[in-house]
Structure formats: C-alpha cells, structure tokens
Structure 1
Amino acid sequence: MEKKYIGLVLLISVFIGCDQEKTAEPQPDLKVKVVQPIQEDIIIEKDFVAQVYGYRDVSVRARNEGFLEAQTFQEGGFVKKGQQLYKIDAEPLREAVIKAENQLERNKVNLQRAISDLNRIEPLAKINAVSQKELDAAKAESKALEALVNSSKANLNISNLRLSYASIQSPVDGVVGKTLVQVGEFIGRATDNKILTTVSVIDSIRVEFFITENDYLAFSKRSQENQSKLLELPLRLVLSDGSVFSELGKIKFINREVDNITGAILVQAIFPNKKHLIKPGQFARARLGVSELSNALLIPKRCVSEVQGNFSVFKINQANRAEKTRINIKEKYKDFYVVSNLKPEDKILYEGLQMVKDSVKVNPELVEFKSQFLTK
C-alpha cells in the first residue's frame, strides 16, 4: 500500500514538471504594423463657413400695374434672356396706345394746317400784303404745333413701351426660381411692388464668407513671401456631405474694412459651376491655405493617443520594443498631425495600440499609410 502511494506521488510530480516546462516556453513576439513619418512641404488650410449665391441673382418685378393673366415658365427650369415669364392684362395699356396714336394724328393735322398758313402768309408778307405781326404769329403757331407733334410721338412711344411691359421677360439666361405670385393676382402697385421670382446665373457661383483679422494678416504675409497676389490664392469648396468640390475658386474681392463689432472681413470668391451641381442658398465651407510649412514631419492621426491633452505614440526602438513617447503637435493637416520631436527614420506603431504596452517586445511590419486625401 505504501509503495503504491509513493508511486502515485512520483507520477503526479512528473506531470507537474512537464506542465511547468510547457508554461516556461517563450511566447512569440506580438506582430504589429508600423509606419515611418512622412516629410514634405505642405500648405496648412483652414475652413470658413460660407454661403453660396448665384453669380447673378436677378429679382423679377412688374413694371406695370395689372391683373396677372398667365405664368409661362416652369419653376426651377432654365430660361433664356428675353423669354416671357408672366403676362399682365394688357387691355388698358392697348387703350392708352390707341389714345396716344389719335392724339398724334390730330396734332399732325394741325401742324400741316399751320404749315400751309405759313406758306401762304410768307409771300404776302414780302409784298406788305399782310403785317409782320401776322407772319410772326403764323411762324409761332407752326413751331408750337411741331413741338406738340414731337410730344405726342414721345407719349406714343411711352405707351407702346408700357404695353410691352405687359409681357414680363427674363433679364438674363439662368435658372428661374419659385413663383411668388399667382395667376389672377393684382401686381405692380407702387406701394407693394414685390418680387415675382428670381433668375440666377449659375454657370459660376459666388461664395461669401468671413475671415478674422488674424487670418487676413496670415494670408497677406504668405502672399508677400511667395511674391503672389492675395486674390490669386486657390480656394476649395467643401460641401455639406464632406466632399470637396472639383473646381478651384478664386477670391474676387476682400472688403475694404474690418467689422468693428465682429472683427471679421467679408471675402467673396467665384467658382466655375458648369454642371450646375452647386445651387444658390447652399451652405458650404470655403477652404483656404493659411500658411506653408517646409519639410514638415507628418504622422497619421490614428497613431496618436491623447490623455488629458497630452499626446503620445509608441515608437519601436532598435531592440523592437515599444516605447511610449510624448510628441509635440504643431498643426493638423488632413488626416495627419504635424509633429516636431520625431525623426523620418522612426518607426511608429500604426495598428495594435490597444494591445501594446510600454517596453513590450514586438515583431514590427513596416507598411505605407494611404491617406484618404491627396497629399501635395
């Protein structure tokens, strides 16, 4: 019995020893992906909240009073300059034209009579058959009626012009908006000459935004350093879905003054918009280069950890051990940080931040970071 017990103890000891040997086997190093900082010249950009307008937004108003008889355009459609948009009741205007024509004819008849009288009196005055006073009166009558005829012609022209205004036409080629009046409505009162609709030229668009005085000074310094004009700096437009508009814009003008309340300056830019993708009234972000950095050192944002405002990365040393290293961030650039205390040859942990601890030995695999943006 005692021998059996001793044998059992020895057997258990052998099993325990074997298990300890298995536990003591070295674990393989953790496989991680690392990147190296990128060094290049970059332009630091800044976004500004912007409002989009048509290159020209022309309000359409009635130039005559009257009842609206017809709307002759499709809301939201494209219209040509001179195309009819609305039609006003023209009957009173036609009556005014007829009245002006009749008045002109009467005055022409009276002028012909006066000219005939003058032609008859002039020969008689030469032989003293009539007095000089009668001759002067005939000449005055002829001139007065000639002036009256000219006045009647002007009145007829005005009446015809007013009649033409019964057809309200598009002032420009562009996209017409929603109608603000309805057929049957009386429009064109001097006290209530409201906008009927708006036609926008959108082959190009205007973008307006405000910049601070400090930003303006930074832009000015950059343009002076590059010997370029401030108005020639390229501008991008970021749409509401985060996409970047394909066309580059140019600053058209910078307002002459700084608002003394907000400390901001109005900037207006022009963007090509041949496909009519951008519509007036949209909100967007104007993206403008603030400053240039030469040989900037960039690391992907996903490599960086932040704790209470302190930023750090895991740097892999020559012994393939992860070292937690605090970094100094100078700027944000697209999906990178611009840092100042790393070297281009450093290996920075890219994937596996949650699994790696300080001083842990790793098996690094160098990969290339593919930015979702196009770097310069």
Structure 2
Amino acid sequence: MSATEQSTRSAGIADTRSPLRLSPVLIILAALLSGCEEKQAPQAAAPPAPPVTVAQPVKRTVTDWDEFTGRFDAVQQVQVRPRVGGFITAVEFRDGAFVKEGDLLYLIDARPFEAVATQAEGQLSDARAKVELAKRDLERGLALVQTSAVSEQLVDQRRQALQAAYAAVTQAEGSLKAAQLNVEFTHVTAPISGRVSRHLVDLGNLVQGSEGNSTLLTSIVTLDPIYVYFDIDEATYIKYNKLWFEGKRPSSRDTPNPVQVSLTGETKPSRNGTINFLDNQLDVSTGTLRGRAVIPNTDLSILPGQFGRVRLIASAPYEALLVPDTAIATDQSRKILFVVKDDNTVEAKAVVLGPLDEGLRVIREGLKPEDRVVVDGLQRVRVGAKVTPHEAKPAPAGGKT
C-alpha cells in the first residue's frame, strides 16, 4: 500500500470517530431529555386544616377553698373504771357494740358493801332512838324546872344531849348513804352513749376502785357528731386575718365557717360541717394553728383516728373565668392555653391558674371571656397554623357562692 492510500484511510478513520459525525445523535437525545424536563409533574394538594374543638371560658361566681389534712376524733370519750374494788362477777356487754347511757357493763361482787350498808342502817336506827330519848328527857326537865325540882344546869345538859343525838343521826345517815353508793357502784354502767371497746378484764378478776389506782375496764367513744382536727400554716392564718380585716371573710372564731370533708380514697368532698374551735396560739415546733370542725356522722361510718381532707373557705365570692383542666398545656415553667383567632390560626396564651371548681380550672390572668379556647385536639395544633374549629357544648353555669 502506498503512502497516499494509508494517508487517505487514516483520514477516513479519523473522520468516522470525529464528534462532528456523532452530533446528530447527541442533538436528538438532548432534545428528548429537554422535552421530558419541560413536562412538569402535577403539584400535590395542601393537607386540610386539622379539626379541633373550641369553647369560650365559663364565667360564674366561685369561692376559693384551702385544703388541709385532718384527723377525726370523738366529741366525747370516756375510760370506764370502777369506783369500788372487788371481784368481777359478770361482763354484760358485747365487745365493739353500741351502748346507751346507763347500760350495765360490769358487775362487781356487792356482798361486802351490802353488809356495810346493813351495819349503817342499824347505826342510823340507834341514833334516831337516842334522839327520841333525849327529846323526852328534855321535855321532863323543862316541866320540872318550873317547880324548881331540877336545876337549870340539868336542863341545859339535856338540851345539849338532844343536839348531840341529832348530830349522830346526821352522821349515821351519811354513813348509810355512802354504803348504799358503794353498793350502787358495784353496777358499772355506761356514762355516755357510744361505741364500746373490748372488755379488758375478764370474769373473776380482782379490780381496784377509785381509792387506789383504779383498773381500766374498757372505753366508750361517741360517733355522731364527730370532730376533725387540722393544722393551719402560719401564712394561711395571716391571709385569713387580712381577709377578715378587709371584710371579705368572716373569722372562724366568731362565725361557724363551712368546711367540706373528703375521706381517704374519695376524689371529692362527701361531708359538710362547720368550724367550732381555733386554738389561742400557734405551735412553736410546727408553726401551725390547730383548728377543729364538727361533722355529722349519722351513718356512724367514720371512726376516731381516721384521716380526711378538710376544705376551708378561703375567699369572698368573686366572678371568674373557668376552662376544662385538660385544655391547659405546659411550656417549660409556663402554663398556656391555645386560642383560635378570627382567621382560624392558633395562638398560645400564658395564663395564671387558680383552684379547681366543680371540675373546671379557674384562670386568674391571661384569658378574655370572648377567647375561643382549644379544649380537644391539642396534639393537632401548632402556633400560627390554621385549624378547623368546632364549637363544644357549653359547660353548666352553676357554681358555689
């Protein structure tokens, strides 16, 4: 092959591999790709605004209450002890039963006391006989002194003997009464009506009377009504005093202020009562003031020693805004409510909470009566985002005054 042919073939190969020979294909591919890019995918539809339930705050008259831990105690409690000593001959009550005043509880052997009473009766009869003899002696002396048959001195002696006889009668009557009381005291009866404890002395045991260390036989406590004692801290006591000076709350010393009591396990108060005692000084070891309320216990279900929660009136009645407690959210240390504005966007409002009142939470600051508060669907709201509000059923408007 000549050099010219090689040169020609080399030039042909070079022409075949040149980009200028491939450009039509590339142009077609580029056109197809650009056409695909120009076709835009349909845009996704925006999600609908989440539904929430809203309600305006409930406006009603409320009263604040403070809560304390209390312990129930009997209005009357008696330790039953014998007033005379002797052997127990009978136990006449059932342990834990309810007894009435005057019911027989124990019998003590009365024979020694009956013998003493019989002896006292004899001494009284003897003293009365001596009075009659002294009367007759004095009458005779008075008749004889008129004729000077006896001296005035003898008459005076007989008058003094009559007075001594009267004194002996009085002494014998006292001895007999004491002996009869001892016989009566052998019947140990219930001094009050109430529930009796178990018997602490069995039949046949010797008990000591009131002249020595008397033996404890049992105890009785009254149940209806019943006391509940509680301790008020110093800050609360100062608050109550301030309210009293301002005329916003009557003093419990002068007025039987109402209290509400809930027992252990109860979620709301079940008993009502009144304050009937405040101590005259604060306990220096605890800084608290002891208070007492009296509670009806007609069903006898409360026993002394039980614990309870005591709610005491803490303010004058006032108008307040209330919302369900479940509508309140927490943002770090703040309490907030989500409020739906006129354009259906959500706004967070910081609020100051008050106490619970019949299942609703008092809002002291940060809320307006016309605000639409999110009460259901809090997990679906975001501040600034739109929502679809639905009105909730209005809450009952009743309240404590």
Q: What band does the TM-score fall into relative to the shorter chain?
A: 0.7 to 0.9
Distance, in Å, in 2 between the alignment partners of 1:358 and 1:243 is 35
- Provide the residue aligned with 1:44 in structure 2: 64
Give the deviation of 1:326 after TM superposition.
Answer: 4.3
AA matched with 1:225: G
Give the deviation of 1:142 after TM superposition.
Answer: 2.0
Distance, in Å, in 1 between the alignment partners of 2:83 and 2:338 is 73
Q: Look up the SS of the partner of 2:181 in the other structure.
A: helix
- Provide the residue aligned with 1:156 in structure 2: 176
Distance, in Å, in 1 between the alignment partners of 2:169 and 2:257 is 61
- Provide the residue aligned with 1:216 in structure 2: 237
**Structure 1's 277 and 370: CA in aligned 2 closer, same or farther, altered over 3 A?**
farther
Report if aligned partners of 1:31, 1:365 keep a CA contact under 8 Å in 2: yes
Q: Look up the SS of the partner of 1:327 in the other structure.
A: strand
Structure 1 window deviating more from structure 2 (226-235 vs 40-49): it is 226-235
Give the deviation of 1:151 after TM superposition.
Answer: 0.4
Give the deviation of 1:40 after TM superposition.
Answer: 2.4
* CA deviation string 1:111-163 (max 9, x = no partner): 33333333333323332223333322222222212211110011101111111
- Provide the residue aligned with 2:86 in structure 1: 66
Q: Does 1:367 align with 2:388?
A: no
Q: Does 1:328 align with 2:328?
A: no
Give the deviation of 1:299 after TM superposition.
Answer: 2.3
Structure 1 window deviating more from structure 2 (120-129 vs 203-212): it is 120-129
Distance, in Å, in 1 between the alignment partners of 2:317 and 2:343 is 33
**Structure 1's 245 and 357: CA in aligned 2 closer, same or farther, altered over 3 A?**
closer
**1 or 2, which has the higher strand percentage?**
1
Structure 1 window deviating more from structure 2 (337-346 vs 217-226): it is 217-226
Larger radius of gyration: 2
Report if aligned partners of 1:297, 1:340 keep a CA contact under 8 Å in 2: no
Give the deviation of 1:365 after TM superposition.
Answer: 1.8
Aligned length: 360
Give the deviation of 1:287 after TM superposition.
Answer: 0.5
Distance, in Å, in 2 between the alignment partners of 1:291 and 1:374 is 15
Report if aligned partners of 1:316, 1:349 keep a CA contact under 8 Å in 2: yes
Distance, in Å, in 1 between the alignment partners of 2:143 and 2:272 is 81
AA matched with 1:350: V
- Provide the residue aligned with 1:346 in structure 2: 371
Q: Does 1:177 align with 2:200?
A: no
Give the deviation of 1:170 after TM superposition.
Answer: 1.7
Distance, in Å, in 2 between the alignment partners of 1:358 and 1:182 is 77
Gaps of 5+ in 1: 1-5
Q: Look up the SS of the partner of 2:84 in the other structure.
A: coil
- Provide the residue aligned with 2:6 in structure 1: none
- Provide the residue aligned with 2:101 in structure 1: 81
Aligned-residue sequence identity (percent) comes to 28
Q: Look up the SS of the partner of 1:358 in the other structure.
A: coil
Q: Does 1:139 align with 2:163?
A: no
Distance, in Å, in 1 between the alignment partners of 2:400 and 2:155 is 93
2:342 to 318, 335, 355: 318
Distance, in Å, in 2 between the alignment partners of 1:222 and 1:84 is 52
Report if aligned partners of 1:236, 1:244 keep a CA contact under 8 Å in 2: no
1:201 to 213, 218, 222: 222
AA matched with 1:91: R
Distance, in Å, in 2 between the alignment partners of 1:139 and 1:210 is 70
**Structure 1's 37 and 194: CA in aligned 2 closer, same or farther, altered over 3 A?**
farther
- Provide the residue aligned with 1:298 in structure 2: 322
Report if aligned partners of 2:330, 2:336 keep a CA contact under 8 Å in 1: yes
- Provide the residue aligned with 2:12 in structure 1: none
Q: Does 1:255 align with 2:279?
A: yes
Q: Look up the SS of the partner of 2:163 in the other structure.
A: helix
Distance, in Å, in 2 between the alignment partners of 1:91 and 1:245 is 56
Distance, in Å, in 1 between the alignment partners of 2:363 and 2:392 is 19
Q: Look up the SS of the partner of 2:222 in the other structure.
A: strand
Q: Does 1:116 align with 2:141?
A: no
Q: Does 1:232 align with 2:273?
A: no
**Structure 1's 164 and 370: CA in aligned 2 closer, same or farther, altered over 3 A?**
farther
Report if aligned partners of 1:87, 1:167 keep a CA contact under 8 Å in 2: yes
Give the deviation of 1:369 after TM superposition.
Answer: 6.8
Q: Look up the SS of the partner of 1:291 in the other structure.
A: coil
- Provide the residue aligned with 2:145 in structure 1: 125
**Structure 1's 294 and 108: CA in aligned 2 closer, same or farther, altered over 3 A?**
closer
Gaps of 5+ in 2: 1-28
Report if aligned partners of 2:248, 2:315 keep a CA contact under 8 Å in 1: no
Structure 1 window deviating more from structure 2 (223-232 vs 195-204): it is 223-232
Structure 1 window deviating more from structure 2 (151-160 vs 345-354): it is 345-354
Give the deviation of 1:94 after TM superposition.
Answer: 1.0
**Structure 1's 144 and 375: CA in aligned 2 closer, same or farther, altered over 3 A?**
closer
Distance, in Å, in 2 between the alignment partners of 1:140 and 1:314 is 105
Structure 1 window deviating more from structure 2 (138-147 vs 220-229): it is 220-229
Give the deviation of 1:196 after TM superposition.
Answer: 2.8
Give the deviation of 1:375 after TM superposition.
Answer: 5.4
**Structure 1's 138 and 193: CA in aligned 2 closer, same or farther, altered over 3 A?**
same
Q: TM-score, normalised by structure 2?
A: 0.79
Report if aligned partners of 1:317, 1:347 keep a CA contact under 8 Å in 2: yes
Distance, in Å, in 2 between the alignment partners of 1:63 and 1:130 is 54
